[in-house]
Every structure is written in C-alpha cells, then in structure tokens.
Structure 1
Amino acid sequence: FMTFFIATSLQFDISLTVVELGENITLHCPVPEKEDKFYWYKQSLGHMAQTVAAVIVKQITITEQFKDPRFTVKKEEAQYLLTIRNVSKEDEATYFCQTGTTYSLTSGSGTFLAEKHVYVKQSPETASVQLGDPMTLQCSLLSKNKETRVQCPGEHSVHWFRAGSGGSHPGIIYTQRNRSDEEEERSCVYSLSKTIQDSSDSGTYYCAVVTCGEILFGEGTKVETSTPQFKGLNVYVMSHHHILLLMEIFNIESQTLHIITNCHPDATEQSISHLTGSKL
C-alpha cells in the first residue's frame, strides 16, 4: 500500500492509505505515556463516526459491531495499533483516534483507507517489429469491480517510458493528452503509436497513469527489432547441358561460373570450373 498526506478541514491531518482488496493493514496512533482513555473511530463517507474500540484504564474493548476476527487493537510502546485483515470494500472509511482523560480528549492522527479498485493493463506483452515499421502499444485503466466505471484522468496524466536494452535507465518518451473512454469495458484506453527507426528503439516500454493521488504502472511491453528480409525470387537453375552450350557461345569455357541456387537467406553458391572438361 502507499500513503500520502493531505490537508483537511478537520482539526488533525488525515493521510490517504490505498490498499488492495484482501490485504492486511495496520493503522498507528501515537499516545502520551499517561492516558486514561483511548478510542479508535471509523467514519464512512456520509455517515456518523462509529467507535471501533475503547481503551479505559489500559483495558482494550472492541465494540459489538466490530467483534470480528479481522479487527484487532493492541498497544505497542507509545502507540495503539488497529489491524484490519482481509480488507473489503466495506472497510473504506476514515479511521482516527482520540486520547486523553475523562475531561479532555485530544484527536490524534487519522487516515482515509481507500480500496485500490483500478489497475493498469498493458498490451501486447511482447512485440517484434521490423525496422521502418510502425507499432502501437495500448495502456488500459480497468476497474476490478464490475459495477464500477473508471473515472478517466484528465490531460497530462499518462506517461510512456522506455528502458533500453543493456541496462540503460528508463527515459520518458511521450506524455498522453488524449483518452478513449470505453464504457462497455469500464476502462480508459491510451495508445502509443511509434515508427521503429533503428535498433536503439528496442527495449521495454512502460506506461504510467496518474490517478487518485497515486501512480499506477503497467507491466511493460518488450519490443524487439528485426531487419527486413527480402522475399524469395523465382530463379530457374539451368542444366549442365545448357551451361556448356552458353559457355561455347560466349567462349568462356576456362572461367569459373557461380550459380546462385535461390534467394533464400540460406542460399549457397556452387563453383563450376572447366565444365567443358567434365563428364555429363
């Protein structure tokens, strides 16, 4: 997961923590050495805050609605830890704590726990392109939830990088300005079209999509280059009789004649010397 700090109108800072479905997450709340009371709260969007756990005179109590093996609270040194296992969509909310005495409670740090419901798929995985030919790579922002449609990022939010062969560092090659929304697929599709000029264009191409305060990377497309091959030509191979006849006509009987059997890359050359003296 990744954590980013953002400003809010509340009296304490709230961090953004993005997690994958099914992951485990532990939230931290520092406390002073001497405290009489401590509370963990969960506040879902559009709802009132719910008490997850209360600590009174060092006795930790999980409230009834959160008595689930997935939720545990413990104290470790000068902080209380709230662990949520196997994170689900219902766990998406702001979690914050309060600590102090019966007469004075101070709000501690909080975090908005967000489910990572989108991912980047890059295609194709590999590509072999001849020099001088164009290629097109695709980068799709997809939703893991079949019922959720992806909100496509705006301009300048998609970047393409190339890591060349030989261990060179990735370099940005293009910044996407357009997008194609595919409603049926609940995705945003970005394309990179490029003509392969020379072998230096080979390497692994990555796309990076900036969305929801984080950067999602594709797994990359490995591009290999190849040299164009000439198509085979139909070549008629003459018989020895015809060769001798031509040699007599042009009076080249003492020369060496090279016959190219065909135009395939594996073609071989045969040398025939003094054919006039050979037996047919």
Structure 2
Amino acid sequence: MVSLTFVFYLTCLFLWGKAQETHQSSSFHQESGFKSVNVGESILLRCFPGRMSIVLYWYRQTLGQIPKPITYLNNYGKTGTFYGEFANNSRFTLKTENHNNHLSISDLRISDSATYYCAHRASTIVEFAEGVTVSVKGSGLNINTSLQRSSSEIIQLGDSVTLNCTVHTGTCDGEHRVYWFKDSEESYPGLIYTHGGRNDQCERKNNKQPRNCVYNLPMENLNLSHNGIYYCAVASCGHILFGNGTKLELKNEEVSLILVYFLSGALAFTTILTLSLAALLYKHKRKGQQATGKL
C-alpha cells in the first residue's frame, strides 16, 4: 500500500511544477498600446516569449473582421512561416534574435492599420497577449476628432461632455462604419462603441454623394475611470483610418481639497509652534536678565 508520505510528496511536486509552469508562461508578454505612424514608414512590434513557449504566432485583426494569422514560429527555430497574403511579402519580417518574436513591417500602408496580437502555445492552450493597435496616417479619408464641453471649460467630476468625430469622405463613395477606441494608463486600448449606418449623420450637397459626416459620442456623469485618449476610427473602401485622438482628463477635486486642508492645518500648526517657541525663548531670556540684575 502506498504510504501517505509518498502521496504527500508527490502532490507537492506536482503543484510545484504547475506553479513553475504558470510563472514561466506568465513571463510571455507583448508591447501593447496605441502606435501612430505615417504611410511609408516602418514599425517594429515587439513580443517576448516565456520559457515554456513552444510555438509563437502573430495575428492581425482589422475592425469588423476575424483575426488573420500572420506567422508561425517554433521557439527553437529562427525562421518563421508566413500565411496567406503575408507569405512572400517582403514588407513583413520576423526578428528572432535572442529567441524573441518581433514583427517588423516596412513601407506601411493604410491597409496595415489594425490590432496586432502576439500569441504563444506553452502546452495545449494558445494564449494571446494584450495586442497593439497600429494607426497608419496618410492619404485617404480625412478624420478630425474634437471635444465639445456641455458646460464649463474645466471638466470636473460629474460633468457631461460630447466627443465629436467629423469624417470628410472625399472621393471615396463606399459605405463606412465608425468606431470609438479608448486608450488609458489603467487599461489596454479597446473598442468602446460602434456607430451604425452613416446616412443620418452625413451632409449632402445637390443630391451628390455625402461629403461630411459627423458622429457624436455623449458621455454623462464623468468619473476618473473616463480619463484617457479617445480615438475615432473609420472602416471604408477597404481601409481603416484613425483620427488624431482627443484627451479627456479629469482631476479628483476631493483629493485636491483634502490636500489644501492638510497644508492649511500644517501651516497653522507650524505658526503656533513658532510663536510658542518664540514666547518660551523670550520668557527664558527675561529670567536670565532678572537673575543677572539680582547679582
């Protein structure tokens, strides 16, 4: 019969192995955030595999579409395999020095605007990193975003604001969809709202094609979780184009008031302490003078 001690040690060994595997797998990560680049430039998307990474992948997800695989790389190899439209495309290359999995894209085009995900397989499960959103600026749709304040110029907690996105369609007469993204320090960039058809938001001139389209994103009862940079993105004519972004920043007035009260109290305490010390010093000096006079 198997002893309880052996079972105990075996269980501990199994749990320790699982903990090590989890720790090593968690070291897998990707540089995330929002990157804005111009047409024709190059970009390097960095991905760092974990010790348990067996296979590494790159995926690209364009708004409204499913993720498409870009590359497959055995972590013990140095050459990756590219899929579909990315195969034999010299603009896409892998940088695998020091067992990294960095994706390099050169001669950027508007169509390269998307969210890129690095993924790995440590055992039987494929794990995705946070992803990085790439916005390629250049010719095409012209998008402007702005912030419309509903009350005062200073945005405070509890206020309401409206974000505006103006799309100048130019010569592109295809239907388009409008998305809103938020990028903040507390969370990864993510899609927060999608507009439907454009017809109700577009101005027409002489029954011609729409020229200007305005989309609004109202936000009420603002709190600190609303802080961040908001981007308007448009999918049209086979391209994705991001706006310039609008920063929304609110300050915690309660914290500021507490700080003011604290500093005021500290100043009052310092003043009282200074006056008390001065009085004691004066009193001590008077006693010294009186003692000297008696002598």
TM-score by length of 1: 0.40
Structure with a larger share of its residues in strand? 1
Structure with a larger share of its residues in helix? 2
Q: Which structure has the bigger radius of gyration?
A: 1
